[in-house]
A and B are shown apart, each in its own frame.
Chain A
Amino acid sequence: MLSFLRQISLAAVLGIITHSVSAQDEPIKFGKLDATAFKASQYKGAEGAPAIVLCDFGTSRIVGAEDGFKAVFERVTRVLVLNKAGYEQATVAVPLYHHEGKEEELLNLRGFTYNLVGEKIEKQKLDAKATFEEKLDGRHSLRKFSLPSVREGSIIEYAYTIKSDFLFNLQDWQFQRDIPVAWSEYRTIIPGFFQYKEIPHGYLPYTTQGRDIVGYSTGYTQSASDSYGTLSAATGSGNQMLLSGKAVRSVWAMQNVPAFREEPFMTTRNDYLAGIDFELDKIVFDPDRPQQVTSTWEKIGSELLKEEDFGVRLQGRSPLHNAAEVLKAQHTDASARAAAVVALVQGKVRYNGQERMYATTPLRRVVEQGQASAAELNLLLVQTLRDAGLDAHPVLLSTRSHGRIQTEVPVLSQFNYVVAGVAVPGQPELLLDATEPLALPGTLPERCLNGQGRLITSDGGKWVPLAPRQRHAHFTTAQLSLDAQGAMRGNMREEYNGYAGLAERNKVAASGEQAYLKALAQQHPDWALSGTKVLNLEKLDQALLVETNLTVPSSATDAAQQLYLPVMQLFTAAQNPFAHAERTFPVDFGTLQEFTTSVQLTLPTNFAVEELPKSAQVELPNGHGRYLYEVKQVGSTLHLTSRMQLRKTQYLPHEYPALRELFTRSVAKHAEPLVLRRTN
């Protein structure tokens, strides 16, 4: 094996373009620091920040071990604490993973706090024994430590090594944090027989990025098995070997990385935060027979179908088989039958809120328990749809809180969720998710509206768009008449369509109908409401309706000739949803949106119109959004209409000012009152 490895021609194995990185020095030496480092003003972004990372430097390499390899990750981090809000940087939690006897091990932890006293640097050592382990769950734990004597102006520094049995993922790297980072650098040194896929995320450019080939050698112990098959590595009698050859060294670095801030209407932090993830792609000990770990979506799909917690779960009959047979006989139409199966599954099992891709519990047991993760619930759905005679397959996807899918990187960990896809002749796949009892079958929950999903079939599968089939649409109509004293009476009807209907049904379900109606009354403390009701709560194929009779008390004073009525403001949102003037990342709504309000106001004989707001129309560039406002008078009746349409699901940061302005204009327009005059 030793000689064989030497023969590997690296370039051939790697098949990547290598461009040389100058073999630069490491950006930080642990424990080496001079007094100039304490001067905050030299660091970009330090002003107003609680602390700044001066340098964060990590290296991952693969080293030989007993009967295999380990990933060794080394990190040195140095942080300047600028004020007391930065003290929390001094308590560090290192996440560690362990599973089935394999583990990640934290080694060689060391740290210092440096304080500048006059010209002198005072150094205090971290007590490396004072670490605490917090078990999070069966597989995850945290090792925590806290640096001593931290004050405003301290520099804290710590270094550690993680030795890992898990080669499937290398340690990922975040260049960006909640505080600014002056320099962040990650290197990997990977021998040719391991190859990883890189999954970058975020919007920031690298300051340095490159690759070169370096010499590589590592020790390796192979167990000798005797004729009885007994491994003897444990007794130390294995074969010690030295592997040497070449490795690919990669480097990524960013300078002056701004602090990361979450903004409203985002998918998940991870889509925006600058970082890089890794997933094992190939193991190549023999160039003629590379072992493909992941490579194509087709292979990922067919392997998943053999997985105990995925494909194997789908084999055999559904625990709801008998009921599925009944539905098969009852419904000839495929969509209607599919909807009935969704209802059947939902009646037996509730969603426990866990977004999962693997069904860790057998489906029969899932039905007994009456609750399940998304994977268990929707694989049960697939199986039951099949038993009802439908052509159903699982569809993998990544929820909005898990992050965007990069279809060009065939890596399974991009997914975290599964729904069911049913082939309907002549139509695109019908996508079904049993986690949302309040959604119309075929309407995916909003968390699933995230690019594309992967239909998993034995013949390779395909991508299916997760684009919403419906909009988020809210229509409000009111018919009012003004009485001689200036009070308004009439009725209002709110219509929630598509995703607005789903959101509103969820609100009703979460608080209860009574509390929902109470909250509605609370939104309009001045109004007297009567006969308020919610309609179509159960009729998922129709809009959710809220209807009420209402009286708006008069704002007129006896003496005044004029009556001022901000009618539109009564029925529209008073706040601009985009509070902040600045935007760093795209606005991501998930759905197209429309908000329409239409009010009819009939005037009594003793009031005449003195002044009406002017009609207005505002367009976003390229027709990506529109706001329309109109007032018309027909006889003694005024017709007011306001319509806001957003025709894209995502707006880029440069489009943000116009989007915010669109709402600013609409809110201002809605505030404009009608001016009426008493005529007697």
Chain B
Amino acid sequence: MSLLGQHSISSRFALAAALCLGPLLAQAGQPLQWPVSSIPAALRQNAHAVIRQQDDILTVKAAGRMVYTVHRVVTVLDEQGDNWGVAVVPYDKLTQVSYLRGTVYDADGRVVRTLRTADIKDYSNVSGASLFEDNRVRVGDLRQPRYPYTADFTYEYSSDNTLNFPAWSPQDEEHVSLEHATLRVTTPPELPLRYLEERLPQGGAVTKSQQGNQLVYAWQLTSLPALEREPYSPPLAEQVPTVYTAPTAFEVQGHRGDMTSWQGLGKWEYDLNQDRAELSPEIKAKVAALVKDISEPRQRVRKVYEYLQNSTRYVSVQLGIGGWQAFPASTVASTGYGDCKALSNYCMALLRAAGVESFCAMIGAGEQRAAIRTSFPSNQFNHMILCVPMPKDTVWLECTSQSEAFGYLGSFTGGRHALLLTPQGGKLVRTPSYAAAVNGQFRNAEVVIDDKGHGRATVRTLSSGLQQDALAQMISALPADEQRKRAYARLGLPTVTIEQSSWQPNRQGALPAVTERLTLALPSYASLTGRRLFLVPNLLNRLPPPAPSVGARQTPLVLHLPFTDADTVRFKVPADYKPESVPAPVQLRTAFGSYEAQVQVLQDGTIQYIRRLQMPDGHFEAAQYEAYEAFRQRISKADRMQLVLVRPES
């Protein structure tokens, strides 16, 4: 029956093709490919796309040469899965795309079209603050007007940069399921593959074999249903089956390295930049003069860092090996700019001239970045900072920022592993973390409510540590009028006019802080209904309710930002109003933090609201999620509590 059906369909199709669709003629009579009807129901559930088959092949040709081939067939079920109908292949000076081919099939599995060379687009893929990078992408787009459709892409690239082997994690997005995927790695016998298997299903471990004199490693994955990320859960990359691979020995533009240890990787990067920290006698003399009256080592470092911040800026130029090799310090001295490597290396040279030893360190920068897999030496880094060992606290310097506080790393590079680059090679060390107590937001507000319910508030907020990162960034990057616009967005009040605003950074303390001062007009902040006045005493710090959960909790709860908030708000209300309903005090203590809120009517009629919330960071068991949700809901409710005042009937 099904055979007959198929036959009649394809013969009718052949007729149509012969009449008007010339280019499709060749496909007539071909067997149907990837019909959607053969996808198991369980894999369609909750999925926008289904990976029907993905075959990745990594061929290590030599320490400095690899070829990567991908064959990927994905059925796109609806519009939200459309990005799977597009193939994007990055390349640069060291990486060439050999080919990118594609064919798209309709739901039944008939060929709709095949990519032509002219259809493949080529775009620049350069990051924002860059003067020059050579990153580009080839793009093949097979998206269709009707769903479902199946896009079948094959591409290959070869690279003379073997520092990074791609991680194999075919199911790397939400709402995509997987029928079958394979990874096959071939290497010469003297360059055995290093790999790290994470979250592979039972029986998913590597199969090793030999083909001729080549070593072959193979993995496969079968029938993985689509995932949906739960709120406050680990990043998807830490939830799906993954095989990380890395070379034993590698080579980039003639620079060979050993990756079997952190020591080896660090040594490679160290050697690449050796002899690039020479400064002219004039600059050396300048630095010596700068620090000649300062004996305390930490203050010497601070002085040099300030000089760096005032005389350089971040401009990225990355080309080939330039992605890992810094501009010489003398170049930075004359142009006054450089990227993270160049500026860290330059700062190291300046410190050396001031008689202080320091080390560059590779790090994975970015908020909420996956932790370094410490047991698997490989290039997991994207940034460089400078480490200055001190008898007591080691000083860490972010050399690309002209405004960052001395010794402060913030959420960009704090609280994680970095690879210190020493003459002996690499060494994994941890950067400082910032605990709840130091990430503060302390606020004091005085509000006067008039007899129409309009309010005027003066607000002073001191933010410190991680809680000031965004503010400090804003102050240094935006002009005054734009800063005020951001403040509007942050306030989140229904209607407000900011009459005065100022932000004062303080970078001198142990941790940076920002003081914000606002004068606000709050039209109808209090509602008046005849005799009554309604007021939400929590003026500016209402915690939103938690994102709703999706069924029973599966994954751990992850809290990223440890913080302490304290708010005191005092309201002066028109004299003749007396309290009718005052919210009861709330006090909550849980493993996820503590919360207190209290409204008092003081003797002079002033209404005083005090709120304190402290939350830690950390991982919590899935079973604890319900309690966390309840905690957040109770806070959210308490934050919206309303006070009712009433005046006597006149």
Contact = CB atoms under 8 A, between A and B. Distances in A.
Interface in A299-323: 319
Contacts of A526: 545, 637
A179 B480 CA distance: 11
Interface in A250-268: 259, 261
Contacts of B119: 369
A580 interface: yes
Contacts, number: 171
A664 B24 contact: no
Given A84-B313, A371-B145, A522-B547, A48 B131 contact: no
Contact of B548 (A88, A150, A525, A611): A525
B62 interface: no
B477 interface: yes
B23 A368 contact: yes
Contacts of B129: 88
* Chief secondary structure at chain B's binding surface: mixed
A511 B80 contact: yes
A369 B644 contact: no
A437 B24 CA distance: 27
A13 interface: no
B334 interface: yes
B138 to A, nearest CB: 13
Contact of A132 (B131, B146, B334, B524): B131
Interface string B137-161: 0000101111000000000000000
A150 B315 CA distance: 11
Contact of B124 (A135, A349, A509): A135
B310 interface: yes
A319 B112 CA distance: 15
B524 A673 contact: no
A350 B145 contact: yes
A146 B131 contact: yes
A370 B485 CA distance: 43
Contacts of B317: 132
Contacts of B124: 134-136
A8 interface: no
Interface string B107-123: 00000110000010011
Contact of A675 (B23, B24, B524, B532): B532
A574 B640 CA distance: 13
A663 B495 contact: yes
A562 B126 CA distance: 62
Contact of B480 (A48, A564, A575): A48
B80 A347 contact: no
Contacts of B24: 368
A518 interface: yes
Nearest to B454: A668
Contact of A525 (B23, B528, B534, B636): B636
Contacts of B132: 132, 134, 144
A562 B145 contact: no
Contacts of B531: 611
A673 B478 CA distance: 40
A512 interface: yes
Given A564-B534, A576-B494, A137 B143 contact: no
Contacts of A399: none
Contacts of A581: 497-498
B509 interface: no
Contact of B145 (A349, A576, A672): A349
Contact of A87 (B80, B313, B534, B581): B313
B94 to A, nearest CB: 17
A50 interface: yes
A261 B482 contact: yes
Nearest to B633: A525
Contact of A673 (B479, B488, B534): B534
A145 B335 CA distance: 12
A258 B413 CA distance: 37
B143 A350 contact: yes
A667 B482 contact: no
B481 interface: yes
B1 interface: no
Interface string A126-154: 01000010111100000011101111100
Given A85-B478, A512-B48, A560 B581 contact: yes
B313 A370 contact: no
Interface residues on B, range: 35 or more
B140 to A, nearest CB: 12
A612 B112 contact: no
A108 interface: no
A28 interface: no
Given A151-B336, A525-B548, A668 B146 contact: no
Interface in A566-605: 566, 574-576, 579-581
B505 to A, nearest CB: 12
Contact of B146 (A127, A134, A347): A347
**Most B C-beta atoms less than 10 A away, residue of A151, A525, A562, A664:** A525
A564 B202 CA distance: 58
A150 B402 CA distance: 12
B580 interface: yes
Contacts of B546: 525
A98 B620 CA distance: 58
A84 B401 CA distance: 10
Contact of B495 (A259, A562, A667): A667
A613 interface: yes
Contacts of A371: 141, 143-145
Given A85-B476, A512-B48, A671-B527, A90 B498 contact: no
Contacts of A350: 143-145
Contacts of B584: 557
**Most A C-beta atoms less than 10 A away, residue of B79, B311, B336:** B336
B313 A150 contact: yes
A430 interface: no
B515 to A, nearest CB: 18
B146 A512 contact: no
A512 B79 CA distance: 8
Contacts of A576: 494-495
A512 B479 contact: no
B479 A85 contact: yes
Contacts of B580: 562
A91 interface: yes
A88 to B, nearest CB: 8
A510 interface: yes
Contacts of A150: 313, 336-337
Given A509-B79, A672-B527, A672-B528, A368 B21 contact: yes
Contact of A611 (B144, B476, B532, B547): B532
26 contacts: A47-B480, A48-B479, A85-B479, A87-B313, A132-B317, A134-B132, A146-B315, A146-B337, A148-B334, A148-B336, A151-B311, A370-B144, A518-B548, A521-B548, A522-B548, A557-B584, A564-B581, A566-B527, A574-B494, A579-B489, A579-B496, A580-B488, A664-B523, A668-B453, A673-B527, A675-B532
Report, nearest first, the 6 A-B pairs whose CB atoms are least far apart: A668-B524, A48-B480, A350-B145, A132-B132, A525-B545, A149-B336
Interface of B: 20-21, 23-24, 48, 78-80, 104, 112-113, 119, 122-124, 126, 129, 131-132, 141, 143-146, 310-311, 313, 315, 317, 334-337, 402-403, 453, 476-482, 485, 488-489, 492, 494-498, 523-524, 527-532, 534, 545-548, 580-581, 584, 633, 636-637, 642, 644
Interface of A: 47-50, 84-85, 87-88, 90-91, 124, 127, 132, 134-137, 144-146, 148-152, 179, 259, 261, 319, 346-350, 352, 368-371, 437, 509-512, 515, 518, 521-522, 525-526, 557, 560, 562, 564, 566, 574-576, 579-581, 611-614, 663-665, 667-668, 671-675
Given A134-B132, A673-B534, 19 more contacts: A85-B479, A91-B131, A127-B335, A132-B131, A137-B122, A148-B335, A152-B310, A261-B481, A319-B20, A347-B146, A349-B145, A368-B24, A525-B545, A525-B546, A580-B488, A663-B495, A664-B524, A667-B495, A668-B494
